[in-house]
């Protein structure tokens, strides 16, 4: 009876200790690769936010030229947002895509948790304004950051040319 029981136990399907260890190592490796790729997926946020800011600056400049009314961008770093305005700070421009006010809030949506580290424009102000000819009095820069990834958005003096760089 004991011999039959032993033969039955030996024939039972299952995994050996070596097979189990190999599977655990493989699962651990795949988990590590997945976590690394997930962090790089979200690293696009600062770059995308800086590109959005450059396009919003160019829209403000073009709007000032076409409507002959001052337009610009005012930053609120503490609230992590900026507003594209026309005429006065209190008049947000309508987004050409969805016709909603152009208030870019980095506390929600696809740019959530992007930090406006600084915004330094003429005479230490936190806004940049374009006259009816599309010129600005002086340049400056804004720094956007997500995690360890940061980008600087520059606006040149007088020309209003905007571009982003990675410091």
**pTM of the prediction?**
0.75
**Residue 100's CATH number:** 3.55.40.10
- Is a pLDDT exceeding 60 seen at residue 2? no
C-alpha distances (whole Å) from 87 to each of 64, 69, 73, 84, 91 are: 9, 6, 11, 10, 7
Residue 21 lies in a domain: no
Q: What is residue 22's predicted lDDT score, i.e. its pLDDT? A: 87
Residue 37 lies in a domain: no
- Is a pLDDT exceeding 80 seen at residue 94? yes
Residue 148 lies in a domain: yes
What pLDDT digit, counting tens, does each position of 30-78 carry? Answer: 888 877 776 666 668 889 999 999 999 999 999 999 999 999 999 999 9
The whole-angstrom separation of Cα 44 and Cα 147 is: 11
What pLDDT digit, counting tens, does each position of 116-155 carry? Answer: 999 988 767 889 999 998 888 888 899 999 988 889 999 9
- Is a pLDDT exceeding 60 seen at residue 1? no
- Is a pLDDT exceeding 80 seen at residue 14? no
* 23-29 mean pLDDT: 89
Residue 96 lies in a domain: yes
Q: What is residue 93's predicted lDDT score, i.e. its pLDDT? A: 93
What pLDDT digit, counting tens, does each position of 75-89 carry? Answer: 999 999 999 999 888
- Is a pLDDT exceeding 70 seen at residue 109? yes
Task: Map residue 17 onto helix, strand or coil.
Answer: helix
Q: What is residue 112's predicted lDDT score, i.e. its pLDDT? A: 87
Return the H-helix or E-strand segment holding 130: strand 127-130
Residues in CB range of 55: below 8 A, 6 or more apart? none
- Domain limits for position 132: 45-165
Residue 11 lies in a domain: no
Number of domains in the chain: 1
Residue 19 lies in a domain: no
Task: Map residue 166 onto helix, strand or coil.
Answer: coil
Residue 2 lies in a domain: no
């Amino acid at each position: 009876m004991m011999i039959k029981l032993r033969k039955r136990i030996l024939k039972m399907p299952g995994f050996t200790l070596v097979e189990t260890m190999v599977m655990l190592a493989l699962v651990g490796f795949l988990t590590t690769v997945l976590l690394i790729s997930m962090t790089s997926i979200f690293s696009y946020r600062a770059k995308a936010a800086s590109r959005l800011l450059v396009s919003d600056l160019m829209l403000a400049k073009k709007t000032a030229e076409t409507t002959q009314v001052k337009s610009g961008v005012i930053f609120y770093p503490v609230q992590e947002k900026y507003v594209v305005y026309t005429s006065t700070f209190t008049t947000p421009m309508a987004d050409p895509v969805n016709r909603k006010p152009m208030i870019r809030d980095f506390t929600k949506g696809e740019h959530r948790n992007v930090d406006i580290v600084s915004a330094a424009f003429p005479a230490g102000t936190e806004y940049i304004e374009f006259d009816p000819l599309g010129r600005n009095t002086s340049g400056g820069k804004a720094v956007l950051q997500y995690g360890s990834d940061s980008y600087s958005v520059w606006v040149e003096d007088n020309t209003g040319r905007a571009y982003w760089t990675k410091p």
